Amino acid sequence: MRILVVEDDPMLLDGLSAGLGLAGFTVDAVATCEDAFAALQAHSYGTVVLDLMLPDGSGLEVLAFLRKRKDATPVVLLTARDQVGDRIAGLDAGADDYVGKPFDLDELAARVRAAARRGAGQASAVLDWHGVVLDPARQTVSVKGKPVPLTRREFGVLRALMERPGATVSKASLEETLYGWQEEVESNAVEVHIHNLRTKLGTGLIKTVRGLGYRLAEESA
Amino acid sequence: MSSIRSRLLTILIVSTGLVWLLAVAWIYVSTQAEVERVLDARLTEAARMVNSLLAERRIELALADDDFPATEFQIEDPSYERQLSCQIWSLDGRLVGRSEHAPDSRLTEAGSGFSESVIEGETWRVYAIDNPALGVRVMVGDSMAVRDRLVGDVVKGLAIPAALILPFLAAVIWVSVRRGMSPLNHMAESLSSRAATDLRPLPDENLPEEIAPAVHALNGLFRRVEDVREREKSFTAVAAHELKTPLAGLKTQAQVALASKDGEVQENALRQIAAGVDRTSRLVRQLLDLAAIEASDRTPEILDARPLEIIRRVAADMPSAEQRINIEGDDDGTARFDPVLLTLAVRNLLENALCHSQGPVLVGTREAIGGIEITVEDEGPGIPSDELPRATDRFFRGRAKSPSGSGLGLAIAKEAAARMGGTLALKNLKPHGLAATLSIPAAG
């Protein structure tokens, strides 16, 4: 899942990029409101992790920008101003969660996952499709109880498909989910991941919708 | 404890009493004069009347016979009866007539006109009139005791009600003073029932004009205390924020280093942690510097010292940047100032210049009128002119902030300068760069 992290402290921003990347997210990192606006206009994100005190304004402005254009992207606020009043103001402004600094990286990752899950309307923390079970927190996949090792990218593709079961997900959308700004995307990367997934999980799981993209098959083969 | 109320009460009651006493004394004196005048006029009138009665022979006198007892007559007017005594003496010294209650001895030895004499222990006021035609002298007198009683009665008639009224008056004064002081009591009550944190202004509508200045002064004090407290509160909040962010960064990087199996990622995280610890410890040091400058119990310790020596020592503490620092000035120049505060100011200006520029940093001292000037010049981007006024605010970092800055350096330099009675001036240089000038007056 691709997420946007807005934080002006370079050390923390670097740590969040690395840490949330390890947790399975594709992280776009920006340090100012202005860059955040630009990123939000260019891409859609599974979740936005937003610091409140930014050099060119408040994170609440970014939040207001999102909500004003009826964008329901989950937002996790990240700030040192964690008085009750600040939390209430942040949540009432449309944030989905609030994490006070300093925080635990694993907890933040869990909260981002939870926010994304709620944003996608899922009740369960694990995704299940006809015996294929994907656990975003542990980054594990099992088929009929047997664990199947996947690479980070393969996991990302499967997750994107399982988050919208039955829906067709375009190749471009998958690329965007998998790769951050700085990453080069090879033209056939998604096809390669899909091929590998079919090899590991069974050829019938993922269907190609010609000209549109991919979707999960109704029945797992 | 001195109480305005009891003082007011004492003053009012004593002065009212004194005014009463004065009034009584005045009435006594004027009544006495008036009574004297009226009764003297009556004496004169009575003497003339007796004289005219004698002339009309309506009083027969035993003038011829020495042995004939003196005629006793009555003065017709009964009101004169008890108070007035009349004697008629022949010019050769015989009592030829007297009124009923008149004493036997001669009323006065003085001649015609008014006189006072003591007869049988009693003082008499006497008016005598000569009648040469009959060869007699008419003397009319009244007892002074009667007059004194009369005056005394008048004064008593005034003083007794006054004395009775006085306690009542005191009660009225007491109640009035109490009522008059009630706004003060009200204010004291509303102040004493307050919690220590309640700094709301006292209501200042419909205040008596005597209390209004005190209430306004108090409200002004409340405002200032509130301002200071707000500043401290926001400082603490911002300081907490500024400390929590690098802590969050440190923790995140540490967790990344622990979780990652990639050697490169681990190394990067550890490098970030090392740099972050440096930055955080500088922030902590700067917060302590601010606390040291603010500490009101520390009196500035003024010494004769060489400013250049202090600058050199500060520069020597920054080994990684020493090559970039150029120091200019008179090595032997001395001035009187607080070396601790000057060190703080210079160190923070130097750090600021080094942190915001890559090139050389020039530090110069020179003597100025009434003090010294220390200028730190860098070749960095300077400060946008709209941010200059706020550049010395605590934690203000501006748009083009450097990753290692804390927003405290210039604030510390300015506050240290202010503690020394000096100023910090910031000026952008052409084509680029910033000149920060500390002006420190020579300490006495």
Q: Catalogue all structural domains in chain B, each as residue range(s) with its CATH number.
A: 4-157 (3.30.450.20), 212-294 (1.10.287.130), 303-441 (3.30.565.10)
For residue B260, give the chain A residue with the closest CA: A22
Per-residue tokens: A46: 């599974």
Per-residue confidence (pLDDT) for residue A220, from 0 to 100: 47
| Residue B345 backbone phi and psi in degrees, to 5 | -65, -45
Q: Do A101 and A9 belong together in one domain? A: yes
If you write DSSP's letter for every residue of A110-163 in order, what string do you get?
HHHHHHHHHHTT--SSSEEETTEEEETTTTEEEETTEEE---HHHHHHHHHHHH
CA distance A34 to A56: 8
Per-residue confidence (pLDDT) for residue A15, from 0 to 100: 93
pLDDT in tens, B285-318: 888 888 878 765 566 677 777 888 888 889 888 8
Per-residue confidence (pLDDT) for residue B403, from 0 to 100: 66
Count A/B contacts: CB-CB distance under 8 Å: 86
Per-residue tokens: B209: 């004009």
User: Is residue B235 scored above 80 in pLDDT?
Assistant: no
Interface predicted TM-score (ipTM) of this complex, two decimals: 0.77
Per-residue confidence (pLDDT) for residue B227, from 0 to 100: 83
User: Is residue B389 scored above 80 in pLDDT?
Assistant: yes
Q: Do A174 and A81 belong together in one domain? A: no
CB contact under 8 A, B244 and A80: yes
User: Is residue B374 scored above 50 in pLDDT?
Assistant: yes
CATH number (domain holding residue A212): 1.10.10.10
CA distance B140 to A47: 129
- Lowest average pLDDT, out of A142-156, B177-191, B259-273, B345-359, goes to B177-191
Strands B325-328 and B361-368: parallel
> Is A133 touching B (CB cutoff 8 A)?
no
CA distance B24 to B182: 34
More confident residue, B376 or A86: B376
Out of B244, B256, B401, closest to residue A22 by CB:
B256
Task: Enumerate residues 6+ apart whose C-beta is below 8 A from A10.
Answer: A31, B403
A 49-68 → B contacts, CB under 8 A: 53, 55-56
**Mean predicted confidence (pLDDT) in A170-175:** 88
If you write DSSP's letter for every residue of A173-210 in order, what string do you get?
HHHHHH--TT----TTHHHHHHHHHHHHH-TTSEEEET
Q: Do A6 and A115 belong together in one domain? A: yes
Task: Enumerate residues 6+ apart whose C-beta is below 8 A from B258.
Answer: none
Domain hosting residue A188, numbered range: 127-216
Per-residue confidence (pLDDT) for residue B81, from 0 to 100: 46
CA distance A172 to A156: 14
Q: Do A174 and A192 belong together in one domain? A: yes
CB contact under 8 A, A102 and B253: no
Chain B interface test: which of A7, A11, A49, A56 (most B C-beta within 10 Å): A11
What integer best gives the mean pLDDT of chain B? 82
CB contact under 8 A, A19 and B251: no
Q: Pick the last residue of a domain from A86, A101, A119.
A: A119
Exposed e or buried b per residue across B216-241, where buried means at least 16 C-beta atoms within 10 angstroms of its C-beta? eebbeeeeeeeeeeeeeeeeeebbeb
Helix axes A152-163, A171-178, angle to 10 degrees: 130
B71 DSSP β-pair partners: B97
What integer best gives the mean pLDDT of chain A? 87
pLDDT in tens, A148-169: 898 888 998 898 888 888 888 9
CB contact under 8 A, A56 and B241: no
CA distance B151 to B240: 90
pLDDT in tens, A94-115: 999 999 888 999 999 999 999 9
Q: Is residue A221 part of a domain?
A: no
Residue pair B170/B79 in contact (Cβ under 8 Å)? The answer is no
Per-residue tokens: B69: 């007892």
CB contact under 8 A, B279 and A11: yes
Q: Is residue A176 part of a domain?
A: yes
Q: Is residue A16 part of a domain?
A: yes
**Mean predicted confidence (pLDDT) in B161-186:** 84
Number of domains in chain A: 2
Position A77 confidence tier, pLDDT thresholds 50, 70, 90: very high
User: To the nearest whole angstrom, how far is the Cα of B396 from the nearest Cα of chain A?
Assistant: 10
> Model-level pTM?
0.59
Q: Do A101 and A6 belong together in one domain? A: yes
Q: Do A114 and A197 belong together in one domain? A: no
CB contact under 8 A, B260 and A105: no
pLDDT in tens, B192-209: 888 878 888 887 777 778
Cα R_g (chain B), whole angstroms: 52
More confident residue, B419 or B241: B419
pLDDT in tens, A34-57: 999 999 998 889 899 999 888 888
Out of A10, A18, A55, closest to residue B256 by CB:
A18
pLDDT in tens, B72-111: 666 555 544 456 788 888 888 788 888 777 777 788 877 7
Q: Do A99 and A81 belong together in one domain? A: yes
Per-residue confidence (pLDDT) for residue B268, from 0 to 100: 92
Position B62 confidence tier, pLDDT thresholds 50, 70, 90: low
Q: Do A138 and A192 belong together in one domain? A: yes
User: Is residue A221 scored above 60 in pLDDT?
Assistant: no
CA distance B280 to B290: 15
User: Is residue B67 scored above 80 in pLDDT?
Assistant: no
Q: Is residue A177 part of a domain?
A: yes
CB contact under 8 A, B268 and A18: yes
For residue B246, give the chain A residue with the closest CA: A12
Report the candidate in B248, B262, B252 with the shortest Cα–Cα distance to residue A105.
B252
Q: Do A208 and A108 belong together in one domain? A: no
Q: Pick the last residue of a domain from A119, A146, A164.
A: A119
CA distance B128 to B131: 10
CA distance B181 to B179: 5
Chain B interface test: which of A101, A111, A139 (most B C-beta within 10 Å): A101
More confident residue, B262 or B109: B262
CB contact under 8 A, B269 and A15: yes
Q: Do A146 and A115 belong together in one domain? A: no
Per-residue confidence (pLDDT) for residue B69, from 0 to 100: 58
User: To the nearest whole angstrom, how far is the Cα of A16 from the nearest Cα of chain B?
Assistant: 7
User: To the nearest whole angstrom, how far is the Cα of B425 from the nearest Cα of chain A?
Assistant: 24
* Amino acid identity for residue B415 in this structure: E
Per-residue confidence (pLDDT) for residue B443, from 0 to 100: 65
CATH number (domain holding residue A103): 3.40.50.2300
